[in-house]
Amino acid sequence: MKNLRRYHNTDILFKSLTQDIKEKMDLDLNSLFYLAISGGNTAVKMFDYWINKNLIPISWERIRFFWVDERCVPPNNSESNYFQAKKHLFEPLNVPMEHIFRIKGEKNPQEEASEYGNLINNLVPHKNNKPAFNTVILGTGLDGHTASIFPNNLSLLTNNDNYAVVQHPEKPQMRISMTGTLILNADSIILPIVGKEKKDIIKRIISDDKEDLYLPGNYIYKTAKNITLYLEYI
């Protein structure tokens, strides 16, 4: 099921997204909810909405937080996705550390990708013989990348590992990213795209043009069985 939802207001977009997460959590009130989150500006805006404006009751104590991707930096580095989530979400909510499973960006990337993939295997319930998050929240860049799968690294879309190491195409920074196979095995995928600078990439992500199939965001959208795009049109 593919859903496209368009909003002219970021707060309304995040309200709708949050309501959808609550409804997914309400399907089984007695189970933990396994959520993979991303980094970037949109994620920070979403966290700030949850802390400062959200009125929808979320059972935060049931959520176990994991990461879609992480930069290979220490956890106190401002570029760390974990650092931003800690600052904007976990500390304000007083989320217990035992509910948070970060990618250790300060470790050897190859070793951590393998270890984090094994952690996911052991903790997250399986379907199709692979871990299946209840929800994966993605983001996208102006180049159409999602997670840390960039247009020059399309092999990660079909990589059978849970996580892999990738280098940013324009700088020497290394990252650890969830692969496309793990993303697509989630029960649901959420992709919020906000900001007027994203108008052109929105068109390409939902495009049927064959050239756009080489965009990771387009591939995930076209291939996913259950994905919702929350689009801000300004």
Q: What is the pLDDT of residues 185-198, one digit of tens each?
A: 999 999 999 988 88
pTM of the predicted protein model: 0.96
Contact in structure between 170 and 208 (CB atoms under 8 Å): no
pLDDT band at 128 (very low <50, low <70, confident <90, very high): very high
Give residue limits of the domains in the chain: 15-137+150-178+186-193
- Confirm if 167 and 149 have CB atoms less than 8 A apart: no
Confidence of residue 169 (pLDDT cuts 50, 70, 90): confident
C-alpha span between 143 and 120 (Å, rounded): 28
Please say if the pLDDT value at position 22 is more than 70.
yes
For residues 129 and 69, what is the distance between their CA atoms, to the nearest angstrom?
22
- Phi-psi label, residue 13: left if phi above 0, alpha if psi -120 to 50, beta otherwise: alpha
Given a cut of 80, whether residue 234 has pLDDT beyond it is no
User: What rounded mean pLDDT belongs to the chain?
Assistant: 95
Measured between its terminal Cα atoms, the distance across the chain in Å is: 26
Is the CATH number of domain 15-137+150-178+186-193 3.40.50.1360?
yes
Q: What are phi and psi of 206, to 5 degrees?
A: -100, 5
The helix (run of H) or strand (run of E) holding residue 12 is helix 10-25
Label residue 219 by pLDDT band (50, 70, 90). Answer: very high
